[in-house]
Structure 1
Amino acid sequence: MILEILLFILGLVILIKGADWLVEHSSHFARALGVSPLIIGLTIVAFGTSLPELIVSLFAAIKGNADISMGNIVGSNIANIGLILGISALVRGLKVQLSTLIYEMPFLLVSAFLFMLLSNDNNLFSHNGFSIGRIDGLIFLVIFTMFMIYTFKSAFEQRGKSLKKYTETIKKRTTPEKKEKLSKDIFFMLLGLAALIIGGRILVDAAVKIAQSFGISEAFIGLTIVAVGTSLPELMTSMVAAWKKEADIALGNVIGSNIFNILFVMGITSLIKPLNVNPSILFVDMPVMILFSIGLLFFLTTNRKLTKWKGAVLLIGYAGYIFYLISGL
């Protein structure tokens, strides 16, 4: 048992470090090529902080541990709002941009409702029982692609630059002097990806053995320990951003990551390996995820600020959810 716990911690550390390397050096690489910091934040940061969820969910699905895979995604989205934004708001109140309210938050809610709907379609696409199949995964990825196209288009328009100008900038900045630094960034990007794969494999194997040893469900492990563990990159990013008064990053990281988890992570995972959905996750945990999303929208629309007391409410709500899960063991 001690060995499994140590392996779980080791896998988690490798996972987080891999994400850190990938995000940091992808950012360096993008900046060296003259890519907008806004685009870096909307893509690389959101992608990087969600990579642990992607790797863990993918490995769990391939190994036949659907409850860990599904629980990880749903649990991470709940933790991102209740735990991470709760703590971030307590560190410093977060002001909200209007665009977040009229675009990102509604998109998050639509994604969450769609996730539950497709899990509950019950043979709509020739499923057996409650499941997320390949067609569902394809739907998620198509919507995700539309979301990213709109995001990139908005980013370019806000900066008043065309894609052609960015292409010209990239050609100018890719000088021989910078090739060595670019090579270093590429090396650490690949190293980070390798660490994510190895760490994810170790973490999933250890989590399954821990669940079996204690006689607790894989769904519980996925919704709690694995979910919080894979959300640590989001936690660190949002906490630091809140402390530095970067509210857009703190909020955007969580909202974007939740959208990413549903549309991209679940899309890729189910496209590779269709997943059966545990009725408990479908009828209890998914509604909780949606409830937290609606609660966040309500908090953000009042005075367009996530104050400390609102953060405390989110934390209390998350603690109540965890208590409910533990009481059901």
Structure 2
Amino acid sequence: MSLLITLVGLVVLVVGAELLLRGAVNVAFRANLSPLVVGLTVVSVGTSAPELVVSLSAAFHGSPSIAVGNVIGSNIANIALILGLCVLVFPMEPDRDAYRIHWPVMMVASLLVLALLQNDRLGRGEGLVLVLMLLAYVVWMVRRSRREHLRGPVNMVSGPIWRDAVFLFIGIAGLTKGGEWFVSGASDLSRQLGISEQLIGLTVVALGTSMPELAASLVAAFRKQPDIGLGNIIGSNVFNLLGILGTTSLVRPLQADHLAFFPDLMVMLATGLVLYPLARFFRRIGRWQGAVLLTAYFGYVYYLVNRG
């Protein structure tokens, strides 16, 4: 039964990713937005739904460390695991805006969270600042993209707009529910095989909450929409830091020992820094770079297992 739930979850994830991407691309054309911006906004928010649910649930159940660790772990996985796997399957040529504009926003958000956690607490004031920063970034990004694309040729999209909205809604719901089923089935299967709870949390559950990003980015790569995939990864990281930590600490202030998370925060910053030279100095992020990223991720997981 666990194997069946895992497989069904995986199928729902892939179908949800396909529908989300189909709707998102059409929305980009209708609103004169670039695929990169759609990946940074609609797709990244949709694929980050599991992280938001997990962090809010953890905060309400008195487990703030899970809420913070979920965000840090997901951000590491988004770059090292998901981007690595995507370019291993389908190399991509990054959009200049990805490293010139949106990468710095991701790094500023990372450094800001690192600074705020020095007090071992994220209160409602800090949460409000993070959420307002996210809203300002999204509004500015959408306006800039629309101005630039209005100067170019108008993209024609066939079919009613409600159909694209339905695709988006079903796609996001499919990614969220598929990720939930995948995690549930895989966790039960792992326990049946005698794998420890610690290893399940570090691998199966961590991967499960990032499965929507993985599915959406892989489908974007196969559909030859790499900008959406890269935008989804950067956008998800920004949304995780500003949106999820901001919203969670607004609802319930978070207590977290920054010294306990310091090594992981450093790994998160390091993976973020690596993204810049990959996007800036290589015309194409290819398979060997993907292999390096994947090796680094599994090396980090090995370190976590040994650290306990």
Q: How many residues align?
A: 301
Identity value in percent:
34
1:70 counterpart residue number: 68
TM-aligned CA deviation for residue 188 of structure 1: 8.6
2:130 counterpart residue number: 140
Distance verdict in 2 for CA 1:160–1:184, change over 3 Å: closer
- What's the TM-score once normalised by structure 1's chain length? 0.74
CA contact (8 A) 2:5 2:181 kept: no
- Alpha-carbon RMSD across the aligned residues, in angstroms, is 4.1
1:159 counterpart residue number: 149
CA contact (8 A) 1:72 1:222 kept: no
Map 1:52-131 to 2 at 5 A. 52-120=50-118, 122=119, 130-131=120-121
Map 1:273-284 to 2 at 5 A. 273-279=252-258, 281-284=260-263
The 1-side partners of 2:116 and 2:8 are apart by: 31
2:220 counterpart residue number: 241
2:211 counterpart residue number: 232
Matched letter for residue 121 of structure 2:
S
TM-aligned CA deviation for residue 25 of structure 1: 9.0
Matched letter for residue 325 of structure 1:
L
- What's the TM-score once normalised by structure 2's chain length? 0.79
Q: Secondary structure at the match of 2:268?
A: helix
User: Any stretches of 5+ residues in structure 2 without a counterpart?
Assistant: none
Matched letter for residue 35 of structure 1:
A
2:147 is the alignment partner of 1:149: no
The 1-side partners of 2:171 and 2:218 are apart by: 26
CA contact (8 A) 2:131 2:246 kept: yes
Map 1:1-329 to 2 at 5 A. 16=13, 23=20, 27=24, 30=27, 34-36=30-32, 38=34, 40-120=38-118, 122=119, 130-160=120-150, 182=162, 189=169, 196=176, 223-279=202-258, 281-329=260-308
Q: Secondary structure at the match of 2:48?
A: helix
Larger radius of gyration: 1
CA contact (8 A) 2:17 2:174 kept: no
Describe the superposition over 1:39-87 as per-residue Cα deviations: whole angstroms up to 9, x where unpaired: 6444221111111111111112111122222121111110111111111
Q: Secondary structure at the match of 1:95?
A: coil
The 2-side partners of 1:280 and 1:7 are apart by: 41
CA contact (8 A) 1:19 1:51 kept: no
Distance verdict in 2 for CA 1:44–1:100, change over 3 Å: same
Distance verdict in 2 for CA 1:193–1:140, change over 3 Å: same
* More deviation, 285-294/7-16: 7-16
User: Any stretches of 5+ residues in structure 1 without a counterpart?
Assistant: 123-129
